[in-house]
Chains A and B, each alone.
Chain A
Amino acid sequence: MFVARHIAADHKDLIHDVSFDFHGRRMATCSSDQSVKVWDKSESGDWHCTASWKTHSGSVWRVTWAHPEFGQVLASCSFDRTAAVWEEIVGESNDKLRGQSHWVKRTTLVDSRTSVTDVKFAPKHMGLMLATCSADGIVRIYEAPDVMNLSQWSLQHEISCKLSCSCISWNPSSSRAHSPMIAVGSDDSSPNAMAKVQIFEYSENTRKYAKAETLMTVTDPVHDIAFAPNLGRSFHILAVATKDVRIFTLKPVRKELTSSGGPTKFEIHIVAQFDNHNSQVWRVSWNITGTVLASSGDDGCVRLWKANYMDNWKCTGILKGNGSPVNGNSQQGNSNPSLGSNIPNLQNSLNGSSSGRKHS
């Protein structure tokens, strides 16, 4: 079903994040080499690095795009305790001639006293807002009151999560029936049984974010969290990367039934839980319709999950981190070599598919 190809990334150290813009025509990567690279897709479908610059004075954990309505805008966050907003400068220059684009820093957000572990722009309908979270356990929500002026960001909310935060995800729903909502995950590994996923919801009345839900069943460190694109559904889907892949649905209990004014109550169900990655799961990502989830884990594999019409989630694809497919039958996920096991020789048939096409 899927075929992988290699792209020469040319980062000097580990890449920590990959992010597509709204159209999937541009891509940003960030790395421990303290740089961010921007990639543009050519007409032939190849990726070309069109910008690469030093963004921080520490490992860059995450990079993310604003909706193109706000321009070509990126945000990054780093171990250096800051987050930054970048904008592409358009104009004729030598860079242009070389097919390079130029990015300038519009602002540095310095409120955190510890490593900033994630940064995400809010859904477009909320305006130009972004949220960061940091190892000191605080989620900060910033807003650019004037979308024309990317150098002015005001800190609108500070939400204390009590636990070192590792990841955040905005609920992308733009339905008027759903209030702005953000989920926060913690990778705090101290041996306590505290829930590691908290969900905060904005209240029009108090003009504040208040805790709406805590996923009590998630007590192991959480490395990534992602709301599925809502796509007109009446409920929300949340994927959590912890010691396994978990998928939750959050059904808003109808407002009439709850006391008015308070935060929305949800019926929370866990609809899938997979430990096929054997150990830690590092990332989860939804496709555009929120119908296929990709996850990566300690088994060095990327796995795809999809629900059938009965809402039974199943693994529909496995790929090794180096792009080569794994035997489709061994879905038990034991890709680690165990001695004496007679693993059929796959590589022959696979080499053709993972062609080492190079770019840039």
Chain B
Amino acid sequence: MSGTKPDILWAPHQVDRFVVCDSELSLYHVESTVNSELKAGSLRLSEDSAATLLSINSDTPYMKCVAWYLNYDPECLLAVGQANGRVVLTSLGQDHNSKFKDLIGKEFVPKHARQCNTLAWNPLDSNWLAAGLDKHRADFSVLIWDICSKYTPDIVPMEKVRLSAGETETTLLVTKPLYELGQNDACLSLCWLPRDQKLLLAGMHRNLAIFDLRNTSQKMFVNTKAVQGVTVDPYFHDRVASFYEGQVAIWDLRKFEKPVLTLTEQPKPLTKVAWCPTRTGLLATLTRDSNIIRLYDMQHTPTPIGDETEPTIIERSVQPCDNYIASFAWHPTSQNRMIVVTPNRTMSDFTVFERISLAWSPITSLMWACGRHLYECAEEENDNSLEKDIATKMRLRALSRYGLDTEQVWRNHILAGNEDPQLKSLWYTLHFMKQYTEDMDQKSPGNKGSLVYAGIKSIVKSSLGMVESSRHNWSGLDKQSDIQNLNEERILALQLCGWIKKGTDVDVGPFLNSLVQEGEWERAAAVALFNLDIRRAIQILNEGASSEKGDLNLNVVAMALSGYTDEKNSLWREMCSTLRLQLNNPYLCVMFAFLTSETGSYDGVLYENKVAVRDRVAFACKFLSDSQLNRYIEKLTNEMKEAGNLEGILLTGLTKDGVDLMESYVDRTGDVQTASYCMLQGSPLDVLKDERVQYWIENYRNLLDAWRFWHKRAEFDIHRSKLDPSSKPLAQTAAMFPFFRKSPESKKPSAPETEADGFVLLGDTAHEQRKAAKGKTSEAEDSQPLEWTGQNLSKFEPLVQ
């Protein structure tokens, strides 16, 4: 405290007060700002606390050290050690009726003037104050004063009194200490030992000494350089810390010969070391010119003597502010809280956090432990502000029977929440595949049915070199375009794309109507245009513009369309090719791309990624030659596989290619649920047997188990066994009794939870289950719990019927 570097102290009893001292003493009051605004004149200490200056005391110049009186006092009684070795009692209170009134202003004067380095109040005998002084020849360096001792006896030599010239009330001078210790030495730091009020630990010039006031002629000491800042661990009274330059030494007073531990050396000299008063084994240290408080978390009670293992120490550091820290003080009662002060007297109040351990539960709630407290944190179900995680999505989808609608297959995307365009595309694809497979099987059993599930890529390949193009008239326009003659394969492809319906009729009318109905005006217009019906396209756009939610701009687009001219060098063409890039809607964009394209080069349409894959593929089937089409499909398939885009299942079908695609989808999303249900939709056995597919299925079942969706898992297994009879023909009952052990309380029918899906869990004694499990271990080849449960089913059966 050389006048520039402030120190800071919490009041030992009035825990909302602290003092900052440099050239003067400033008393502050801390308030929580949690429920109130920051008051005018307050200083913000942290997000939720602020300090108000209560009073300033500048009566005591040349302060070297300050110690707060340990007993409760409304007056804020402080002892101040000065550069001349005097100790002055002063206060910051306003209460002049205090019982300590008489003490204020009292001075304790050593025989010879030298710096007072340290002060320590005795924690038990509250009137005892120890002062540590610099060396002065053979004089004593540790003086213990009794602050209640009588005033200066008359025998005090006159020269002593003269020392305090200017003092008006010489009667307040005390010159006779209770004890004088540490002769011919210097004292740098002091602390009383809590185990006995008569024991004083002092950091002397070259040693640590324990003085016993019952016998002042003797002392226990150990030679060391670590003599600064001696401080006793408030939780283990035999543990003491002291420091020297960058090094902290930890001592065990029971074996005082050498430090039990020295902490890793810090690059700069230490200025303060303090044990946390509210938590065991936490030591805070501060070095010069640093904005970091380094903490040593001694995770263990001091080891008993003779044990060689070092205690586990975890080093941590906190940075309470950006500036250098002049000093810090632990809050006496608030857990792990401290206040720091910077050289320019800004202050900051913060809490050192305990190491938090945490764990996720399978049902998306997070539990963590901080200190001695537990906190649980659950995702709010009804919060739509953020996209739900796939774990939550899968759980909700499992509850809504997602994947299990095997009739109206497309409806599964509705069950999935109708929010994901890729899932929508996937389930429509699977729906069409199912529909046309059945169609084909009826027409010519055992013929091409399996081809449908192989995807458009295989379908198109199978018809290589058989298609010729011909010129078609535009309806309502004097124009012709080359369109591929549609063979059976291309028709099937268009059907899978959803453009045309069952039968040989190649009319897109119904499809357009359904798009219009759903308000997909731009898409409908584009499809109409691709079918060379520009009038219909314009009509749809007009309709869209006049509809309730329609966009009036569609009229403008319609107008632009109607101005279409085949003239190569027309202004229309020029403007459309440049302005179309500014259209936000991809379908509007590709319409103009189509109209302005050269015959046979449709890249503007084919590679517009924002247009649905099914529309682009249908377009390609209509306009590309066989070789072009093949190349395009090949390219697009690879793109889809790489991206794990489910729209690509239209191309790959449920083949190995499809598994590859699904693999990147799972890698990207973790959605094993969709992967499992998709592959169980109609994959041939060799695909189902793919290790990856089996692995997804296993993982999905495991999720259902973790969520205790026994019923859902049973449904899933039944669904699975329909397609893959080899997946262990499961007795339906077996699926409902997954192996798990529950303590007998569960015998009382517990109210079924929502996620438990209405199934009351049947308790079984551990013994029975151990017996049952024995059956399993004998053939512990495969750890699927169901298999052995099935073997022991006989005793369950009556329960299930």
The answer to whether A and B interact is yes
B607 within 8 A of A: no
- Does B378 contact A68, Cβ atoms closer than 8 Å? no
> Per-residue 0/1 for A290-309: is the Cβ within 8 Å of any B Cβ (1 yes, 0 no)?
11101111111110101001
A53 within 8 A of B: no
Residues of A contacting B329 in the complex (Cβ-Cβ under 8 angstroms): none
Residue positions of B touching A, CB distance < 8 A: 33-35, 37, 44-48, 264, 280, 299-300, 309, 312, 314-323, 342, 346-380, 383, 385-386, 389-391, 394, 663, 666-670, 672, 675, 691-692, 695-696, 698-700, 703, 705-708, 739-741, 743-745, 750-751, 753, 765-767, 769-770, 773-774, 777, 780, 783, 785
- Would you give the shortest CB distance from B347 to chain A, in whole angstroms? 7
- Does B357 contact A231, Cβ atoms closer than 8 Å? no
Residues of A contacting B745 in the complex (Cβ-Cβ under 8 angstroms): 96
- Does B695 contact A232, Cβ atoms closer than 8 Å? yes
- Does A22 contact B380, Cβ atoms closer than 8 Å? no
CA distance A189 to B363 in the complex (A): 37
Contacts A/B (CB < 8 Å), 21 sampled:
A13-B280, A14-B372, A20-B361, A20-B367, A69-B785, A90-B743, A96-B744, A114-B309, A233-B667, A233-B670, A282-B357, A285-B366, A287-B389, A289-B703, A290-B670, A306-B389, A321-B354, A323-B377, A339-B45, A343-B44, A348-B34
Indicate the member of A19, A147, A177 with the most B CB atoms within 10 Å. A147
- Would you give the shortest CB distance from B739 to chain A, in whole angstroms? 6
- Does A6 contact B356, Cβ atoms closer than 8 Å? no
The one of A3, A235, A336, A339 that contacts B346, using a Cβ cutoff of 8 Å: A339
CA distance A175 to B348 in the complex (A): 53
The one of B365, B389, B696, B783 that contacts A291, using a Cβ cutoff of 8 Å: B389
- Does A234 contact B667, Cβ atoms closer than 8 Å? yes
Residues of B contacting A297 in the complex (Cβ-Cβ under 8 angstroms): 356
Task: Find the A residue at minimum CB distance from B644.
Answer: A309
- Would you give the shortest CB distance from B685 to chain A, in whole angstroms? 18
Task: Find the B residue at minimum CB distance from A337.
Answer: B46
Residues of B contacting A343 in the complex (Cβ-Cβ under 8 angstroms): 44, 47
Task: Find the B residue at minimum CB distance from A90.
Answer: B766
- Would you give the shortest CB distance from B690 to chain A, in whole angstroms? 11
CA distance A7 to B358 in the complex (A): 14
- Does A283 contact B361, Cβ atoms closer than 8 Å? no
The one of B367, B700, B773 that contacts A147, using a Cβ cutoff of 8 Å: B773
- Does A71 contact B770, Cβ atoms closer than 8 Å? yes
How many A-B pairs have beta carbons closer than 8 Å: the answer is 303
- Does A347 contact B48, Cβ atoms closer than 8 Å? yes
- Does A346 contact B743, Cβ atoms closer than 8 Å? no
CA distance A157 to B389 in the complex (A): 38
Task: Find the A residue at minimum CB distance from B47.
Answer: A343
Residues of B contacting A31 in the complex (Cβ-Cβ under 8 angstroms): 372
The one of B312, B350, B369, B375 that contacts A4, using a Cβ cutoff of 8 Å: B375
The one of B358, B695, B740, B769 that contacts A302, using a Cβ cutoff of 8 Å: B358
Which parts of A27-50 form the interface with B (CB within 8 Å)?
27, 29, 31-32, 43, 47
Residues of A contacting B383 in the complex (Cβ-Cβ under 8 angstroms): 1
CA distance A292 to B670 in the complex (A): 11
- Does B321 contact A115, Cβ atoms closer than 8 Å? no
- Does B666 contact A15, Cβ atoms closer than 8 Å? no
Cβ-closest 4 pairs across A and B: A300-B353, A24-B361, A296-B356, A15-B369
Which parts of A309-346 form the interface with B (CB within 8 Å)?
309, 311, 316, 319, 321-323, 336-341, 343, 345-346
- Does B370 contact A18, Cβ atoms closer than 8 Å? no
A254 within 8 A of B: no
- Does A27 contact B367, Cβ atoms closer than 8 Å? yes
A9 within 8 A of B: yes
Residues of B contacting A347 in the complex (Cβ-Cβ under 8 angstroms): 34-35, 47-48
- Does B346 contact A337, Cβ atoms closer than 8 Å? no
The one of A16, A175, A231, A283 that contacts B691, using a Cβ cutoff of 8 Å: A175
Residues of B contacting A55 in the complex (Cβ-Cβ under 8 angstroms): none
Residues of A contacting B376 in the complex (Cβ-Cβ under 8 angstroms): 4-5, 7, 47
- Does B670 contact A291, Cβ atoms closer than 8 Å? yes
> Do A88 and B318 contact each other (CB < 8 Å), given the known contacts A32-B299, A283-B357?
no
CA distance A175 to B692 in the complex (A): 8
A17 within 8 A of B: yes
Residues of B contacting A12 in the complex (Cβ-Cβ under 8 angstroms): 372
- Does B312 contact A90, Cβ atoms closer than 8 Å? no
- Does B353 contact A339, Cβ atoms closer than 8 Å? no
- Does A292 contact B389, Cβ atoms closer than 8 Å? yes
- Does A234 contact B692, Cβ atoms closer than 8 Å? yes
CA distance A47 to B370 in the complex (A): 17
Which parts of A208-254 form the interface with B (CB within 8 Å)?
230-235
CA distance A3 to B675 in the complex (A): 32
- Would you give the shortest CB distance from B107 to chain A, in whole angstroms? 36
- Would you give the shortest CB distance from A78 to chain B, in whole angstroms? 11
CA distance A89 to B769 in the complex (A): 13
- Would you give the shortest CB distance from B308 to chain A, in whole angstroms? 11
- Would you give the shortest CB distance from B305 to chain A, in whole angstroms? 17
CA distance A68 to B705 in the complex (A): 11
Residues of A contacting B45 in the complex (Cβ-Cβ under 8 angstroms): 337, 339
The one of A5, A43, A298, A322 that contacts B751, using a Cβ cutoff of 8 Å: A43
- Does B706 contact A288, Cβ atoms closer than 8 Å? yes
Known: A58-B300, A147-B773, A322-B370. 4 other contacts (CB 8 A): A7-B375, A71-B741, A232-B700, A288-B360
- Does B374 contact A20, Cβ atoms closer than 8 Å? no
The one of A16, A147, A175 that contacts B357, using a Cβ cutoff of 8 Å: A16
Residues of A contacting B350 in the complex (Cβ-Cβ under 8 angstroms): 336-337
A286 within 8 A of B: yes
CA distance A289 to B675 in the complex (A): 14
- Does A339 contact B356, Cβ atoms closer than 8 Å? no
Residues of A contacting B48 in the complex (Cβ-Cβ under 8 angstroms): 345, 347
Task: Find the B residue at minimum CB distance from A114.
Answer: B309
Residues of B contacting A302 in the complex (Cβ-Cβ under 8 angstroms): 356, 358, 366, 368, 377
Residues of A contacting B705 in the complex (Cβ-Cβ under 8 angstroms): 22
> Do A340 and B47 contact each other (CB < 8 Å), given the known contacts A43-B750, A302-B368, A321-B353?
no
- Does A298 contact B316, Cβ atoms closer than 8 Å? yes
Indicate the member of B318, B389, B700 with the most A CB atoms within 10 Å. B389
A257 within 8 A of B: no
- Does B34 contact A319, Cβ atoms closer than 8 Å? no
- Does A288 contact B346, Cβ atoms closer than 8 Å? no
Residues of A contacting B767 in the complex (Cβ-Cβ under 8 angstroms): 90
